[in-house]
Amino acid sequence: MDENELNLRPNQIPEELKGSIAVTTLDRIYNWSRRNSIWPMMFGLACCAIEMIATAASRYDFSRFGMEVMRASPRQADVMIVSGTVTKKMIPQIVRLYNQMAEPKYVIAMGACASGGGPFKEGYNVVPGIDRFIPVDVYIPGCPPTPQALLNGLITLQKKIDSESLKSVRWYQKGKIEPIPIPVLGPDLIDPRQSPLIKELCQSQISNVSPAGTPENLEAHHDNQLD
């Protein structure tokens, strides 16, 4: 959005003051200033991170979109680009980093892995998509997405920011925003929000009654524990 787009009523401004005055809404100027300075968190997970670096480098150069400063600290970052495969061993740290980011904060799932597990989805240490734990604003397909695709994702995020309103944004609502519970590394990854379900299902496995799913599911489930 350039200056003219920011200005809602250019015709009503006296000629001599054009260039120094703009008439606009609070929402517009608020979003305009935010969308042009989105600092990503410097944080790479896997192969996609290399393409993210390439996007930051001179040929594609995402600083043209106001993202020139990558911050290593979550406190100073506006957007978390989840660039790669999220593993169970790593997810507690990622959720913690997300919780530590200050509002307004956004998440981009870059690539097939971050969006849904990608080629490694079936792996025993892989989280099939970061959106199981943290809310995602923009998904970028590709394995890895090309720098152009990442730029397109960033522009999509800017559009999303443009459409927000001070009245409805999450961080100006009443009440506290609860942090996302940190997953725990147990015999397998434990999502604290699922604890009651896990307990119930594990108990029922012993007594062999099936509360959820079909009997085969449960059987397959038993097989997992052969070891």
Partner 1 sequence: MTTSWIETQLTEYLLERFGEAVQPDSRPGYLGFLVARNKLLEVCRSLRDEFGFDYLSSVTGVDYHPEPFMEVVYHFYKSTGGSALVMKTQAPRDNPTVPSLCSLYPGADFQEREAWDLLGIRFEGHPDLRRILMWEGFAGHPLRKDWREPFFEEDAKPFKSRWPEGHFIRVEDNNPYKNNVSYPPDFDPGKWVPDKDELLYGGLQSFEEDSEIKTERIVVNLGPQHPSTHGVFRMVVLLEGERVVDLKPVMGYLHRNHEKIGERNTYLQNMPFTDRLDYICSMSNNFGYALAVEKLMGIQPPERAEYIRVMMAELTRFLNHMFSIGFLLNDLGAFFTPSLYAIEERELILDIFEEVAGSRMMCNYFRFGGVARDVPEQVLDKIKTLVHDRLPRKLDEFERYLTHNEILRSRCEGVGVLTPEQAIALSVAGPVLRASGVPYDVRRADPYSIYERLEFDVAYGIHGDIYDRYLVRIEEMRQSLRILRQVLKDIPNGPVMAGKPQFQVRVPPGEAYGRVEGPKGELGFYVVSNGKPNPWRYHVRAPSFINLTSLKTMAHGAKVADLVAILGSIDIVLGEVDR
**Residue-level length of the chain:** 227
Q: Is the peptide bond before 144 cis (omega within 30 degrees of 0)?
A: yes
Instruction: For ligand SF4, give the closer residue by CB, 115 or 158.
Output: 115
Q: Least separation, in Å, of the C-beta of 93 and ligand SF4?
A: 17
Q: Which of 31, 40, 107, 191 binds partner 1 (CB under 8 A)?
A: 191
Q: Which is nearer to partner 1, 48 or 157 (CB)?
A: 48
- Cβ 140 to partner 1, closest distance in Å? 15
C-alpha–C-alpha distance, residues 130 and 86, integer Å:
7
212 binds partner 1 (CB under 8 A): yes
**Residue 184 forms beta bridges with which residues?**
190
Please report the beta strands in the chain, taking only residues with DSSP state E, as ranges in sequence order.
Answer: 79-83, 106-110, 138-140, 184-185, 189-190
Give the nearest distance from C-beta 113 to ligand SF4 in angstroms.
3
Give the strand pairing for 184-185 and 138-140.
Answer: unpaired
- Any contact of residue 121 with partner 1 (CB under 8 A)? yes
Q: Does 213 bind partner 1 (CB under 8 A)?
A: yes
Q: How far is the CB of 53 from partner 1 (least distance, A)?
A: 7
Closest CA to 154 of 87, 95, 91, 70: 70
Give every CB contact of residue 14 below 8 A, 6+ residues apart in sequence. none
Token pair belonging to 91: 């997810």
Interface with partner 1, residue 57, by CB under 8 A: yes
Q: Where on the chain is the footprint of partner 1 (CB under 8 A)?
A: 42-47, 49-51, 53-54, 57-59, 72, 84-85, 87-90, 93, 97, 117, 119-128, 132, 143-144, 146, 184-192, 194-195, 197-199, 201-203, 205-206, 212-213, 217-218, 220-227
